Structure 1
Amino acid sequence: MGEVDPAFIQDVEHRPKLTNTESEGIPIIDLSILSSPEPDSDEFRRLVAEISDASEKWGFFQVINHGVPSETRQKIELAARQFFALPKEEKSKVRRDEVNPYGYYDTEHTKNVRDWKEVFDFSVESTFIPVSPEPDDEALKEMISQWPEYPPEMREVCEEYVHEVQKLSYKLLELISLSLGLPEKRLNGFFKDQTSFLRMNHYPPCPSPHLALGVGRHKDAGALTILAQDDVGGLEVKRKTDGEWVFVKPTPDAYIINVGDIIQVWSNDKYESVEHRVKVNSERERFSIPFFVNPAHYTWVQPLDEIVNEENPAKYKPYNWGKFFTTRKTSNYKKLGVENIQIYHFKTTKSSDE
């Protein structure tokens, strides 16, 4: 996006509030200016203000004209449909397990019995995470993606797609950095050896949709999530102003972006990771493809130095992302006897409702 005048960063703190109201649903933000060879400074300033406003009020927004080619997205959506249409025994050849959490799984093999879905997780880069959540164990393991025999072009299609969506992730991280009054590239270094991964979700028609959810209410632990959903829809976001669940209407060719726990911590609670869930459909199957943008395993997550001061002291103690991630993954297979790890466990002071 080029160099940024320091005066611009200062001006972000005094940006105007936008007219998008909560009743209109999560904002739709046009990123087309990022493709301009000489973007208008006022328009760019407005874009950063829109990102800030949406992140602060909602923790969610949609982006259009984002630069990911439509044909690239169409190819991975087709690959997902082809894979999930395979017989269960064929999909199970690449089933994930406690040793390697990449691969196929369905809710028959998880403790989340109310979740109504099947999933395929993978990464196209070498990813290392701690073997154990124990703080004194420094051993690492490589996360190995498993690729099915069919569709035969699946790996190539997935690599092409992740390449494009990673470019979008850096654009968004740079916009968020600017919206916090920080230099454009301030967050990029955390993702040098990123642990990001992509998930294909399939939600079959549910005969009793009132008894199940596609995914129960939760917050995303990483930095950002970039979600492609089909025209069926089902994602609901918990509105911050009144706690109501708001349906996210599918927008053709758009991506749904949500701020994760890590950005909440980096921003020292200026931006909030918001609860969301997925409702199932009684008649139609649904497909979605989220890309979870996560930093390197050795990243220590804490409020950014430039944001904290005497008036705004750090609200979180530092935590290691790799250990946090491993604890989350371990809980999918073992009952740990304690509540699954959350960022509020690292709060410097806890509120009365925690």
Structure 2
Amino acid sequence: MLNVRKSSDDKVDTLLARGLVPIIDLAHCGTEECPVKSVVNRVGLQLQKALSEKGMALLVNHGIADEKLKTAWDHLDDFVELSEDVKEHYIRTPKDNHGYVSPGLERFDGKTPELRHAFNISTLNAKNLPEEPLPGFAEHISTLAKDFKSLASFILQSLAVSLDIPQSFFTEKHSHMLSGDHDNETTLRLLYYPPIIEDDEKNEYIRGHCKYSYQRCLSDQPDFRPEHNPRDDELNETDNTNGSDQAKSTERQLANGSVIRCGAHTDYGTFTLLAQDSEGGLEVKLPGSEKWHRVGHLPGAILVNCGEILSIWTQERYPALQHRVVIPEQEHIRSRGRHSIAFFCHPDNLTMISPNDLPLPEVQDTTCKKGRKKSFKAAKDKVYNAYQLIQKRFRDTYNNSQ
């Protein structure tokens, strides 16, 4: 039976299967307070190559146990099954980024509601976590969040080495991670994407004994049946597909319309750490390319990808990675659902973000240099702090959900 599943999975064309995703080994990296200098230097060099060429890398031997991740996903599943009146106490509000986000509220493309459950943790204050209805939730998630924070601190130091600046440059600007979004917008995000099971009569999305149908979602305003699938045009334009190739596309259109798990976007902060439980449809556009590629899944690995703030700081030497999560066309993948955990690493809110902060080498190519001078002149004239940048992006994401 396992061989059959493996054979089916092998048919998925991914960057990982083609050996195009850099893999970085973090074994023996030391602790957050005392990282091993030789490992920091090695990882810095590997990040320099990986992030400049691909915008991402897979981290292995990072020290966060699979069991911790699985337990966190179990806690999220339990939260999703709570009654609506209980979940209401933990809903994310416009005043902060902490709390539960139900399906349909986020629209990364500005118009298409997205089918997923999310719980954002930006502070480890127990009163903001559902400990009473779910004993053990607060303690476990707090421990996991600290693990991700330690890993992020190591990556921040390695990034500084990769750019030939003082090792503490980035850690000093990220000193309040998980202290609450009034000080720092860093967020640990638990994500659950329900399985997609086609039902000609109801088009229901099922996870165990919980059901999420078009009818139920419509009662809460979100509509997962857009009249037009925006990727129909995109496929023709970028992938040279036509009607006869539709079955080969990397996105699935259901009988009564299309559904999206997470629309195309770049992350807002410095970088993101992403753990996944399966190959669930994550796609990226590599730097300089307009084509979408499925990333693939390496069990136990954590993906790191560049965000917009790091791209600004490095004058696009480390480009923000555009990515999305599509409905996989393979039935055995689509029907499994998907869990992930994202750690969005952000600078402290009052940190000023400018492309002139880092002593980067001059661009040698004169044509490229002129282009960069022009594009970053505006950034120099109008410099934002980290809080202002992310709040603008939040408004773009949530204002269209009404």
User: What TM-score, normalized to structure 1?
Assistant: 0.75
Alignment counterpart, residue 85 of structure 1, candidates 69, 81, 98 = 81
Whole-angstrom distance in 2 between the partners of 1:149 and 1:125: 15
Structure 2 gaps of 5+ residues are 1-14, 177-183, 199-251, 329-333
**Matching residue of 1:55:** 51
**Matching residue of 1:299:** 351
Deviations along 1:152-198, whole A, 9 cap, x unmatched?
11111111001111010011111111111112211111112332111
Whole-angstrom distance in 1 between the partners of 2:351 and 2:161: 21
Whole-angstrom distance in 2 between the partners of 1:218 and 1:38: 33
Deviations along 1:122-169, whole A, 9 cap, x unmatched?
22357xxxxxxxxxxxxxxxxx94536332111111110011110100
% identical equivalent positions:
25
Distance change >3 Å, CA 310–CA 39, structure 1 → 2: closer
Are 2:99 and 1:103 equivalent residues in the alignment? Answer: yes
Distance change >3 Å, CA 123–CA 102, structure 1 → 2: same
Alignment counterpart, residue 186 of structure 1, candidates 155, 169, 185 = 169
Distance change >3 Å, CA 280–CA 307, structure 1 → 2: same
Q: Which runs of 4+ in 1 moved over 4 A?
A: 20-23, 36-41, 43-46, 308-314
Whole-angstrom distance in 1 between the partners of 2:349 and 2:154: 22
Q: Which moved more, 1:265-274 or 1:115-124?
A: 115-124
Equivalent pair of 1:52/1:176 in contact (CA under 8 Å):
yes
Quote how far apart the aligned CAs of 1:296 are.
Answer: 1.0
**Matching residue of 1:69:** 65
**Matching residue of 1:119:** 118
**Matching residue of 1:27:** 22
**Matching residue of 2:395:** 330
Whole-angstrom distance in 1 between the partners of 2:298 and 2:73: 16
Give the aligned residue type for 1:66: H
Whole-angstrom distance in 1 between the partners of 2:174 and 2:193: 31
Q: Determine which structure has the larger helix proportion and give its number.
A: 2
Equivalent pair of 2:40/2:154 in contact (CA under 8 Å):
no
**Matching residue of 1:4:** none
**Matching residue of 1:265:** 312
Whole-angstrom distance in 1 between the partners of 2:18 and 2:299: 21
Quote how far apart the aligned CAs of 1:331 are.
Answer: 3.6
Distance change >3 Å, CA 60–CA 220, structure 1 → 2: same
**Matching residue of 1:198:** 188
Whole-angstrom distance in 2 between the partners of 1:236 and 1:110: 18
Quote how far apart the aligned CAs of 1:335 are.
Answer: 5.3
3-state SS of the aligned residue for 1:334? helix
Deviations along 1:89-147, whole A, 9 cap, x unmatched?
43333222223432112233445534111111122357xxxxxxxxxxxxxxxxx9453
3-state SS of the aligned residue for 2:169? coil
Whole-angstrom distance in 1 between the partners of 2:143 and 2:112: 34
Q: Which moved more, 1:202-211 or 1:187-196?
A: 202-211
Q: What's the C-alpha RMSD, in Å, of the aligned pairs? A: 3.0
Whole-angstrom distance in 2 between the partners of 1:21 and 1:227: 15
Distance change >3 Å, CA 28–CA 320, structure 1 → 2: same
Equivalent pair of 2:104/2:114 in contact (CA under 8 Å):
no
Equivalent pair of 2:280/2:337 in contact (CA under 8 Å):
no
**Matching residue of 2:302:** 255
3-state SS of the aligned residue for 2:399? coil
**Matching residue of 1:229:** 276
Structure 1 gaps of 5+ residues are 1-19, 127-143, 337-354
How many pairs were matched up?
A: 299
**Matching residue of 1:319:** 384
Quote how far apart the aligned CAs of 1:44 are.
Answer: 6.2
Distance change >3 Å, CA 80–CA 305, structure 1 → 2: same
Whole-angstrom distance in 1 between the partners of 2:37 and 2:391: 44
**Matching residue of 1:239:** 286
Whole-angstrom distance in 1 between the partners of 2:293 and 2:106: 27
Equivalent pair of 1:268/1:308 in contact (CA under 8 Å):
no
Give the aligned residue type for 1:321: A
**Matching residue of 1:339:** none
Whole-angstrom distance in 2 between the partners of 1:63 and 1:102: 27
**Matching residue of 1:151:** 134
Distance change >3 Å, CA 335–CA 82, structure 1 → 2: closer
Rg comparison, structure with higher value: 2
Equivalent pair of 2:16/2:295 in contact (CA under 8 Å):
no
Whole-angstrom distance in 1 between the partners of 2:37 and 2:392: 45
Give the aligned residue type for 1:124: T
Residues 134-173 of structure 1 aligned to structure 2 (within 5 Å): 145-147=128-130, 149-173=132-156
Equivalent pair of 2:274/2:302 in contact (CA under 8 Å):
yes
